[in-house]
Every structure is written in structure tokens, then in C-alpha cells.
Amino acid sequence: MSLIYRVNMTDLSVRAESPPAEYAERGGRALTSALLAAEVPPTCHPLAAENKLVIAPGILTGTGAPCSGRLSVGAKSPLTGGIKESNSGGMGALALSALGIQAVVLEGKPRDDTWYRLVVNADGLRIEPADGLAGLGNYDAVARLREEFGEKIVCLGIGPAGEMACAAASVAVTDIEGRPTRHAGRGGMGAVMGSKRVKAMVVDPTGARRPQPADPDRFKAGAKQFQASLNGHPLTSQTLPTYGTNILANVINEAGAYPTRNFRVGQFEGAEAISGERQHDVILKRGGKIEHACHRGCTIRCSRIYHDQNGQFVTKGPEYETIWAHGADCGIDDLDAIAQMDRMDDDLGLDTIEIGATLAVAMEAGVIPFGDAQAALGLLREVQRRTPLGRLVASGAAVLGKAYGVVRIPTVKGQAMPAYDPRAIKGIGVTYATSTMGADHTAGYAVTANVLGVGGRVDPLCPEGQVDLSRNLQIATAAVDAMGLCLFVAFAVLDDEHALPAICQMVSGVHGREFTGDDFLALGKATLAHERRFNAAAGFTAADDRLPGFFHQEPLPPHDAVFDVPDAELDQVFNFVR
């Protein structure tokens, strides 16, 4: 039987409850957003006791469905001021699902300055003091917890950035090897966890059992077909396993949409040096690993393990977004320096996209020069030292840019844009502008049809058709996030007519009742409606669904394009929400 744990950090009590009917068949983002919309005052301060942090596996997580180990972490965001779902790989979702946990909800705030940890196992959930972990980076904190509890545990925790309640702070989730390399990065979820004085959650799945579908035969048939769809698509069966997400570096650079030096131009002269192809060769030469899964049951295996020149582990990946943010966006073409920054981000508990973008804005401000990797590492050391400048860096691009009087700040709703310039990929620009989450490529990945030719083709340089493309992808993505599925399964879903019915068949098997493609889309729409209404009640208007002015005014080389999707069309993205 599924349980929701309510953890009240004000009186340090724990309550286990059966999910109410309206949540009984929800998971992942569909559950986090519904619960937040129902229980969190939209106008509350994100770091106040009234905010809640909701941690939820997906509907399919733990069932054995391929690529279904994603974890949703939701709260009102300190970065955007709106509702947020931040998504992570790693072993957290699988461990919680194995224990029959549908969600853990952190409520309230302690009355003193004690730090705490949550310990979750087959006997339940308990709160324990954890002042001994305070001040530690994620790597040292996990090492101590594994020494105490054993190597089978899974950890979710915050680093120093979360302890300082900085708006770019992440929640770190341990991977298969027990390293804190997977992060619910976007939106400052680590700051919310830190505001509740929870340093870590230790999950011990010993003795737990995989959730059993109500109709096992139906589920197995759907899972078999879904895996066949993933095996049959070249991106999920060949390209991503071999070259990882960073295969996109040369692709997006060639498309003229690779944001360089704080979105000044769309191509980086050093792209080849930090490309997925170069990264692949370096990893193999040094004895690292390609085709690595970030959680058990992932069959795409797009993760990597990156070693230094002496063959010693440095970090995972790094992923495409991380390499771009600390690389091209900062004018840096040194893979080893970027890997060091990724390792520091993970240890400090920082969103790599937000921090890379913040470093670029600091370069725009003249704090450090573009292209200076050592100076960039120096700014991360300021975060380690908890200096005022370090706190600015860990607060994100919008805050640091405002403090230094920068005009060109590539954010929407306070959140930094990822690695696709919206002037040259206009569908992703629509997603950036209108997503309930702030600028977020994963909310509606229009790069599929704009660049990759997946799910059809929409000219990336023309405004026509971009709103419909983004809307449809945002709806489908919200449903994928509810399932606990990796976003990359969308390639197969968009191109293989059998993939979506297979997902629906798996869900039908889990619930023991018919779940159709219409139900899948309805779930996505309902999730977005919860989020949209929350943001409206928090004070968001159509004016917040816009890109910064320089994207309309500054032509982007090499295409000399501007973002010209009309505002009136942007306002129609959520025309299904009443």
C-alpha cells in the first residue's frame, strides 16, 4: 500500500497517511503540483514555514518500466517565486518506491537552529539531529552517512548552498555508485530543504519489494513494447548511449543556436574542443565510462564517468547543459576545467545551468574576464567560503546581474535560460517564455522538431507553428514527468506510433483499469492547469511570459535572427486552462 509521509519540522512529528482519492493514482510532477496548488499559499515567502517541499517518485517508478527512475521535487521556488517541479535521476525515486512511499512532504520550520536528517526504511520515517553534517559538501556528507548506515543506502541532501538558502541551491541524489552526482537542480529546491533545516534524507530500501502491478500481464506486455520502441530509435539506442547528451554541442553550434559569451552570438569557435565526440574520446582514453546509467533500469544509458589525466574519478558526464553553461556561455573551451566546475557545483549543491549562466553574467559585468576558467573556479570558491560575493553567485544570474547593473540577463521568471538561443530555435523560445517553471528547456523541448527532425519539422527561424509545437510538448512533458520517465523517451514517443500506447498499457497494468492516450494528455493538461493557476494567484501575469528585451532587439549571428513570435500568440499557449 502506498503512503504519504508528512514530516512536520515545527514540532518534529511524522505522520503516515494513505493518499486521499484525488492523489491515489498520481505521481511525480502530477502529484507535487497538485499538492502544492492545494496546500501552499501562493503568496507565501518561499523560505517561510508555509511553503512545503514535496518529494515524489513517478507513477511507473519502481515497477520495472524502462527508464522510469526519475524523481520529482516540488515547492514554491525561491528563484522564480512560482510553483516548481525539479526533476532528478539517481536512485532516490527507486528507493522510495520500493518502500511503498508515494511522497514525502516537508512542512513547517524548526524553532531553533538545529540541523536534522530524515532516516527512511522499512520500519518508517524518523527525524534525527544532524549538526555533525552541517557545513559539509555533498561528497563528504554522503561518505559519512554511508560509513554509518552502509553502502546500500540512497541519500538526498543539500550542500553549503542549500544551508545558506541560496536560490540556485539543488537537492543532490546519489547515483548507482553512491555518489551525489544527480541533482534536482532547477529552481532552488535545495534552499527550501535548507530553510526547513533538513541536511539529508537517508533511504534504506533493505527488505523492500518492487511495487506490483494490479494486472502484471498487461504491464509486462506494455513494458516489452516500450523497450522495443526505445531500442528501435537511433537516438535512444545508439547516439545517446555512445556520445551522451553532449552530442548536441556540434549539432546546436552548426545550427547557429549555441549561446556564446552570455548569448552574444550563436556559434562558439571552441565548440569542437568541448563537444560530445571529443568528450567521448577523452573518457575512453583515461579509463572512464560511457554508456552509464544514472539509475538502475535505465536502458538509454546516456550518462558518463569522467576521469582526470591520472585516471581518477572527477565527476559524472558532464552533461550537455553543464558543459555549455560553463563552456561556450563563458567562452571556455577546456573540458577538464569544466569537469572541475561540475564537481564543485555538485559538492556545493548548485544547479549547473543556473551557475554557469551566472558566471557568464559575472563576466558580462566585468567581475572576471570571459574565457578565464581559473577565475570562474575562483568564483565557486567564493561560494565555498560563504563570502558576500559567493552568496551572490549562488543566488543566480538574475540576482547577480541586478547587483552589478547588467542589462543583458538571459532569464525568464528569474530562472536562467539553458543551452539553446531562442532567436535561432524559436520553438524553445516559446517554451522559455511561457513555461510555468521559468526558462526551462525540459518543459517543452521544441529542439525536437526545430533542429533534430523528431516528431516532424518546424522551421526554427520562422515564428509560424512554434506556439502549437511548444504547447503540445509542454502538455506531453508534464505527463511524462508524472510517469517518472526520463525525458529522452520522448524521442521514441514522437516518432514511433507504438510507444505512447505502450506507456498507456503499462499504466493500465499498474492501476488495473484502462488508461488511454486521451487520459495521458488529460493528466498533462491538469498538471499544467494546477501550475498555471498557482502562478496567477502568486501574481504572475502575461507580462511574465516574455523573453528579455535584447532577444527582440539584438540580431543573433550567424543568422542575424531576433525572437519575433508575437505576444498575442504567446498568450495562447495555455488556451486550454480556464
- The pLDDT value recorded for residue 163 is 98
Does the domain at 244-421 match CATH 1.10.569.10? Answer given as yes
Predicted pLDDT at 1: 61
Cell of 92: 532516490
- pLDDT of 178 above 70: yes
pLDDT at 204: 97
Q: What is the second-level CATH architecture of the domain 422-495+516-578?
A: Orthogonal Bundle (1.10)
Q: Which residues pair with 17 in a beta bridge?
A: 4
**C-alpha distances in Å from residue 446, one per residue of 101, 303, 421, 428, 458:** 33, 22, 12, 5, 9
Q: Is the model's pLDDT at 175 over the cut of 80?
A: yes
Question: Structure pTM?
Answer: 0.97
468: three-class secondary structure by DSSP:
helix
Residues 6+ apart with CB under 8 A from 198: 9, 106, 115, 116, 117, 118, 158
Check: CB of residue 535 under 8 Å from CB of residue 82: yes
Q: Is the pLDDT of residue 26 over 90?
A: yes
The per-residue pLDDT for range 313-352, each reduced to its tens digit, is 999 999 999 999 999 999 999 999 999 999 999 999 999 9
Give the sign of the dihedral formed by CA 101, CA 174, CA 350, CA 158.
positive
Report domain extents, the chain.
Answer: 3-203, 244-421, 422-495+516-578
Concatenated DSSP letters of 521-566: HHHHHHHHHHHHHHHHHTT--GGGSS--THHHHSPBTTTTB-----
Task: Give the fold, CATH level 3, of 3-203.
Answer: Aldehyde Ferredoxin Oxidoreductase;  A, domain 1 (3.60.9)
Q: Which residues pair with 315 in a beta bridge?
A: 306
**Does position 498 have pLDDT exceeding 70, yes or no?**
yes
For the stretch 208-232, pLDDT in tens is: 877 789 999 999 999 999 999 999 9
Whole-number average pLDDT of the chain: 97
Nearest to 60 by CA among 94, 88, 89: 94
The answer to whether residue 412 scores a pLDDT higher than 80 is yes
- Which H or E element spans position 403? helix 397-403
CA–CA gap between residue 428 and residue 17 (Å, rounded)? 40
- Do residues 185 and 90 lie in contact, with contact meaning Cβ atoms separated by under 8 Å? no
* pLDDT of res. 208: 84
Whether the per-residue pLDDT at 130 is higher than 90: the answer is yes
Q: Is the pLDDT of residue 191 over 70?
A: yes
Segment 268-304, tens digit of pLDDT: 999 999 999 999 999 999 999 999 999 999 999 999 9
| Residue 134, helix vs strand vs coil | coil
pLDDT band at 510, cuts 50/70/90? very high
Residue from 482, 475, 473, 527 nearest 506 by CA: 482
Average pLDDT over residues 379-390: 98
Report CA dihedral (58, 64, 67, 68) to the nearest 10 degrees. Answer: 0
Q: What percentage of the chain exceeds 70 in pLDDT? A: 100
Which pLDDT belongs to residue 211? 78
Average pLDDT over residues 253-260: 98
pLDDT tens per residue across span 309-319? 999 999 999 99
